[in-house]
Structure 1
Amino acid sequence: MATVSHSAAVSHVGKVRSNNQDSGYAGHTLFVVADGMGGHAGGDVASAITTKRVMQADVAYTSAQDAEFALQSALIAANAQLAETVFEHTELTGMGTTVSAMIVLDDQVVIAHIGDSRIYLLRDGELSQITVDHTFVQRLVDSGRITEQEAMVHPRRSVLMRVLGDVESSPEVDTSILTTLPGDRWLICSDGLSGVVSPAAIAAALSSGASPLAVGNRLIKETLDGGAPDNVTIVVVDIEDGALRTAEPVVVGSASAPLAFGEEPVRNRPLRLPALRLHPVRESHFEPDSQDYLSELIEEDARRLRRRRITWLTGIILLVLVIAGAGVVGYQWTQTRYFIGVEGKNVAIFQGVQQDLGPLSLSSVYEETDLPVASLRVYDRQQVEQTISAPSLADAQLIVERLENARTP
């Protein structure tokens, strides 16, 4: 059975940034990289809060589906926590973070992703990018407007379309369940690595046969050699057959230090709505005067609105179908029941049940007999007037026969 054998997490502030806004975690079965944004006062807080919240999902699961739900729920809870933090500390308005996380469960890997941090898989010497960047330039690549090579140097390559933060209460998180094999090596990294070091160089480092920690340090050095304009965080995970991992969890980056920011929260502040923005973006990379950028954002919002409408419409249709189906099944069941009652002046056998649903009657006369109600004994007449239930037509006919035999001469 494939499972985690070794892992490592490393992080570096880089050569330009004054503080590390990345966070990373290599746990027992959970592995996370979060890349914060929002300036000096917010990015480190966002990634640290999110990572510490997601770390709570590092527990045992009985199925990959349970792990997927738990991981997605943790990210949504982290998003709510970020919004609450911004409400209490207005100086943090605009902070956000990307998250790429995975849980290894036997021979399956559960992935959750939002933003432009990445998850790679090295299998049999071949490197594959597993996640898709939620960036403006990735949209341009997907639409065929620019190439992958052009995206690497595009001036708006860091503009994000989706992140966790204080803007959306229900952010869209990509999740998936994949199969992992013995010999697989997984890499989670912030864009401080993928934006500087080429995929070929990343593949070469992962294929070197060195330990996860050595590979992480090698990639950090290559990032520094390339100028390291951003923080860089790397988590490397090795999968082996039947391995038993006993290493303690490792936390790196801003999540490894206690949170310290701003003044004490003022809980009596009036309710403040977040500033109206189309999407959160990295500091210094927001250029609202770009028509292409704005049109792409508007198109993205339109896509989200259509998806939400389709989801709601689908849910409503399914609910109506379920209710209608239950109604049909329920009505069909009522037509298997019978009871004895009065039709005009005679005893009659009714098909259905004695109740009505508003204007809808759940019974009808199946057979009107020649037996007058007035000819019945007092007790039998009262019973018939109140109706006598019968589980089947044969039972109903037997009841009528008994009433006829016992009637007053």
Structure 2
Amino acid sequence: MTFQGSAAALSHTGKVRSNNQDSGYAGSNLFVVADGMGGHAGGDVASSLAIAELQPLDRTYENTADAERTLRGAVSDAAESLIDTVHLRPELAGMGTTVSAIIMVDDYAVIAHIGDSRIYLFRDDALTQITTDHTFVQRLVDSGRITPEEARYHPRRSVLMRVLGDMDPNPELDTFIMPTQPGDRWLLCSDGLSGVVDDPHTAKAMAAGLAPGRTADVLLKQALDAGAPDNVTIVIVDVGGQHPLQSGTPTIVGAASTPKGIEVPAARPGRTSWLHPARQAANEPSHFEPAAEFLEELIEEDRRRARRRRIGWFIGLVLVLGLIAAGLFGAYKWTQTRYFVGADGATVAIFQGIPPSLGSIALSQVYEDTGVRLDSLSEFDRQTVEGTIPADSLAQAQEIVARLNDRDGHTPSPSPSGSPSPTSTTAGGHG
């Protein structure tokens, strides 16, 4: 049965690269994204050849097993096509491409995947990544050595562990079958989108209810606003839904959309010198496969990175703890410049520090026991002492004790400024 729904595909060079090495396909039953690798020329050719081999699969199938078997065979044929092309054109050696494809068969999606392009399913307002990246950093994530967020910015995030290339006629392809239902939205994309637009923003665009073409436009704009350092290719497939299938004519985008996609562009002299670093970077491959010995080197490099990260965290922790300790010590030293008068058992004492405590840690201690008994004081003075009387200095604390002692002996005490006490009278009346 022909797929019932709607789809759209678009591809953009991005803001840094000088050519588009991606290819995309949206047909009646077949949907594909291929992200080429191999530099200025090879990536174009590899992704275009992959689309050319897969395009005849855009038809109906009796069952999912038939579709899966045919899909596997077509990807193997694409690998052989890449190998044959390199034999004829050695200048393309090292080229390859990712492939993420869906064939819709009745109520099922038959999926094939190799590389780091991705397939997502948006269902019930939740976005789920269906495919697993065949990358070096994904292995690190799977082993728990780095987090998914760290993987987004890892310097080796472009190292592919599996790819459709010109060396292996039997690529290790992931294939599986998933049930699908009306209302599902499938997103196939190159890492030019998934590498710069995070899942929450992608989910928001998918949830807006726009037609597939408009949704792809929104996602592309987000990638461009984020800098789009790589080619961006997006294929969106709606199962059923309110947007009907517009035509049976397939949409081919990117390198595969033009016959030049399988031609080697002429080199442009003067474009790769140090005077033009941006243009040089634009022609460098976005992905590459490591040789076995280089993979070991990458693993050792990651171990060194992990050690440096742990050492950095330890030094940072020591510095933070040191600053906290220094702050606490400074605060304690300040408390020891303060004094107050209070009760120590049955007598009045001068304390050094401040009255509050931190749990079981006292911030004061008796500096001097004055010998003045609490029961010799008036009721008001005794309550005041028991509530503590703060002093700015030791001399002021001693002066407070002297006044208390004077009042205990019923002798008026002069105020700190030497003026008469409030209880004294001035000779001569009002004059």
Check whether TM > 0.5.
yes
Structure 1: gaps (5+ residues): 264-280, 298-409
Hey, what does 2:79 align to over in structure 1? 79
Matches of 2:83 and 2:288 in 1, distance apart? 22
Change (3 A) 1:244 1:61: farther
Change (3 A) 1:141 1:283: closer
Contact 1:140–1:146 (CA under 8 A) maintained in structure 2: yes
Measure how far apart 1:296 and its partner are. Answer: 10
- Return the letter of the residue paired with 1:172: E
Change (3 A) 1:121 1:133: same
Hey, what does 1:325 align to over in structure 2? none
Hey, what does 1:116 align to over in structure 2? 116
Q: 3-state DSSP class of the match of 1:42?
A: helix
Matches of 2:87 and 2:254 in 1, distance apart? 24
Q: How does 1:9-408 map to 2 (within 5 A)?
A: 9-240=9-240, 245=245, 246-258=247-259, 259-261=262-264, 282=286, 291=296, 293=298
Measure how far apart 1:46 and its partner are. Answer: 0.3
Matches of 2:66 and 2:51 in 1, distance apart? 20
Measure how far apart 1:131 and its partner are. Answer: 0.2
Matches of 1:183 and 1:262 in 2, distance apart? 43
Measure how far apart 1:3 and its partner are. Answer: 4.2
Contact 1:3–1:243 (CA under 8 A) maintained in structure 2: no
- Return the letter of the residue paired with 1:293: L
Measure how far apart 1:4 and its partner are. Answer: 3.3
Change (3 A) 1:87 1:145: same
Q: 3-state DSSP class of the match of 2:240?
A: strand
Deviations 1:253-286 (A, max 9, x none): 00000032279xxxxxxxxxxxxxxxxx845896
Q: 3-state DSSP class of the match of 2:196?
A: coil
Percent identity for Structure 1 against Structure 2: 56
Change (3 A) 1:118 1:85: same
Matches of 1:65 and 1:255 in 2, distance apart? 28
Matches of 2:243 and 2:212 in 1, distance apart? 15
Higher Cα Rg: structure 1 or 2?
A: 2
- Return the letter of the residue paired with 1:254: A
Hey, what does 1:396 align to over in structure 2? none
Deviations 1:286-343 (A, max 9, x none): 697675525799xxxxxxxxxxxxxxxxxxxxxxxxxxxxxxxxxxxxxxxxxxxxxx
Give the TM-score normalised by the residue count of structure 2. Answer: 0.62
Structure 2: gaps (5+ residues): 267-284, 303-431
Matches of 1:152 and 1:8 in 2, distance apart? 27
Give the TM-score normalised by the residue count of structure 1. Answer: 0.65
Measure how far apart 1:106 and its partner are. Answer: 1.1
- Return the letter of the residue paired with 1:253: G
Matches of 1:227 and 1:220 in 2, distance apart? 11
Matches of 1:95 and 1:233 in 2, distance apart? 19
Q: 3-state DSSP class of the match of 2:83?
A: helix
Change (3 A) 1:241 1:221: closer
Measure how far apart 1:247 and its partner are. Answer: 3.6
Change (3 A) 1:240 1:50: same
Matches of 1:290 and 1:209 in 2, distance apart? 44
Number of residue pairs the alignment of both structures matches:
280
Matches of 1:113 and 1:211 in 2, distance apart? 26
